[in-house]
């Protein structure tokens, strides 16, 4: 079967514009944007921060550089997942990039859910402002008291009471729930009892952030950073009441949605991680040529040539695997694509972490400081070995797919 991993020429022109905007408009203001956090309330946007972010978004939107992630929909620009990979990589080079083009996490995954499974009313109330970049959203699955890498453990209680559902329990690591613009939570809950089949016990409920009974207990810290104002929040629901029609797809169909949501979301993370690896390699190369020690540029000392070469080769391997997984997604068979997504979900963070770590090393003390984007990139990519499924769970998926052909052979 023909496997085209490239871009159509008109799409390449669009990508060139994204690359230029990341380089010329976003990267130069990134340091100033982050320096604003903590001037006053960490969980609000300072006027200057809002001006930078909204100004960039308005520019991208006016230029038609918006919502590239809508790959399988007539609302988008008609990119394939393979083509989107190039865009996500370009946007992922800088932390602000994805949001500027309305392609940030967790919103792209949540918008996919509304697009695929939402009712017309949900689309009107939530998808429309999300697509316009006017509000943000969060995805609530993980819970402090259960091993959430096995989502069948999710235990938040959800009980029918007349025309409503009543939700009780805790969630944590809820990315984006600290953002004052976050207005809606897609929440995985348990609706079925022990007599219900394991994968039909859960439902996805749309909960407005303003619903009463929701408390944000604390921001979780990522290696000591709270990632304000986005945040990863620990939250408690006490008798949170929502209309039963807020159920996505129907009671007991949470797993169908989780599978649909996590596939695209996971691969988007991988594509952006490859962008971060590229950005780190560029910084490493520039630094190794500019700085001298022992009478030579750093590049010519010790094993630094080999380190740079290894980084380049590993990025290229990861990118090809990512494109291949994207190609499988474009074939429309989610089951066939899943082991490929799992492979890249393990490999992309691993490669990006290695490259960023080598770039940190080449920068000496500066590398682990706030003066380069490298330390922040490393901590972010490190969390990807956990978020959207830990490595071990994805390796399990890969091994099961690998072994299946032989067990089937025996039968």
Using CB under 6 A, list all residues that contact ligand FAD.
106, 139-142, 147-149, 173-175, 222, 232, 383, 386-390, 392-393, 396
Q: How far is the CB of 42 from ligand FAD (least distance, A)?
A: 17
Q: How far is the CB of 260 from ligand FAD (least distance, A)?
A: 15
Instruction: Give the residue with the Cβ less far from ligand FAD, 155 or 211.
Output: 155
Residue placing its CB nearer to ligand FAD in the complex, 232 or 268:
232
Which C-beta is closer to ligand FAD: that of 125 or that of 230? 230
| Closest distance of CB 141 from ligand FAD, Å | 3
Q: Minimum Å distance from CB 167 to ligand FAD? A: 15
Is 192 or 390 the residue whose CB approaches ligand FAD more closely?
390
| Least spacing, CB of residue 16 vs ligand FAD, in Å | 32
Report the residue number, 22 or 206, with the smaller CB distance to ligand FAD.
206
Contact 101, 60 (CB under 8 A): yes
Minimum distance, C-beta of residue 265 to ligand FAD, in the bound complex (Å): 10
Cα–Cα distance measured from residue 200 to residue 256, given in angstroms and rounded to the nearest whole number: 9
> Which residues contact residue 49 at a Cβ distance below 8 angstroms, ignoring those fewer than 6 apart?
33, 36, 37
Largest Cα span, the chain? 79
**How many CB atoms sit inside 10 A of residue 366's CB?**
15
Neighbouring residues of 91: CB distance < 8 A, sequence distance ≥ 6: 18, 22, 97, 98, 100, 101, 103, 272, 275
Which residue in 226, 266, 344, 222 sits closest to 105, CA to CA? 266
- Residue 100 or 189 having the CB closest to ligand FAD: 189
Q: Residue 228 — left, alpha, or beta (φ > 0 → left; ψ -120 to 50 → alpha)? A: beta
Q: Which is nearer to ligand FAD, 152 or 383 (CB)?
A: 383
Provide the minimum distance between the beta carbon of 138 and ligand FAD in the complex, in angstroms, as a whole number.
6
CB of 269 to ligand FAD, least distance (A): 10
As measured in angstroms, the least distance from the Cβ of 236 to ligand FAD is 15
Chain-centroid distance, C-alpha 315: 19
Q: From residue 199, how far is each of 109, 153, 186, 190, 354 by CA, in Å?
A: 21, 10, 18, 10, 36
Is 60 or 88 the residue whose CB approaches ligand FAD more closely? 88
d(CA 274, CA 320): 11
Q: Between 90 and 154, whose beta carbon lies closer to ligand FAD?
A: 154
The rounded distance, in Å, linking the Cα atoms of 239 and 389 is: 29
> What are residue 225's DSSP bridge partners?
222
């Amino acid at each position: 079967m023909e496997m085209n991993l490239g871009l159509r020429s008109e799409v390449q022109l669009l990508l060139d514009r994204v690359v230029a905007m990341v380089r010329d408009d976003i990267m130069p203001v990134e340091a100033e944007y982050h320096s604003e956090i903590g001037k006053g309330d960490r969980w609000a946007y300072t006027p200057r921060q809002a001006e930078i972010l909204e100004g960039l978004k308005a520019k991208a939107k006016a230029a038609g550089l918006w919502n590239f992630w809508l790959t399988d929909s007539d609302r988008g620009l008609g990119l394939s997942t393979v083509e989107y990979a190039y865009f996500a990589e370009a946007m992922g080079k800088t932390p602000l990039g994805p949001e500027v083009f309305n392609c940030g996490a967790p919103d792209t995954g949540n918008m996919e859910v509304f697009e695929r499974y939402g009712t017309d009313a949900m689309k009107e109330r939530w998808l429309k402002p999300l697509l316009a970049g006017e509000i943000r959203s969060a995805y609530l699955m993980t819970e402090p008291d259960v091993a959430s890498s096995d989502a069948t453990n999710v235990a938040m209680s959800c009980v029918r009471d007349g025309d409503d559902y009543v939700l009780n329990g805790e969630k944590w690591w809820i990315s984006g729930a600290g953002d004052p613009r976050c207005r809606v939570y897609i929440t995985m809950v348990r609706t079925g009892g022990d007599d219900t089949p394991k994968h039909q016990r859960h439902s996805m409920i749309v909960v407005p952030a303003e619903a009463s009974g929701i408390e944000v207990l604390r921001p979780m810290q990522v290696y000591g950073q709270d990632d304000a104002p986005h945040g990863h929040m620990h939250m408690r629901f006490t008798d949170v009441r929502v209309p039963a029609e807020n159920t996505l797809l129907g009671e007991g169909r949470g797993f169908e949605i989780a599978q649909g949501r996590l596939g695209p979301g996971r691969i988007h993370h991988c594509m952006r991680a490859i962008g971060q690896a590229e950005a780190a390699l560029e910084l490493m190369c520039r630094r190794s040529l500019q700085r001298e020690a022992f009478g030579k540029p750093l590049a010519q000392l010790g094993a630094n040539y080999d380190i740079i070469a290894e980084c380049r080769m590993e990025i290229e391997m990861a990118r090809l695997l990512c494109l291949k997984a994207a190609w499988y997604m474009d074939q429309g068979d989610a089951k066939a694509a899943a082991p490929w997504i799992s492979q890249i979900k393990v490999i992309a963070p691993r490669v990006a972490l290695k490259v960023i770590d080598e770039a940190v090393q080449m920068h000496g003390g500066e590398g682990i400081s706030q003066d380069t984007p490298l330390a922040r990139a490393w901590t972010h990519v490190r969390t990807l070995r956990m978020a959207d499924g830990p490595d071990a769970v994805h390796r399990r998926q890969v091994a099961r797919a690998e072994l299946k052909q032989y067990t089937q052979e025996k039968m």
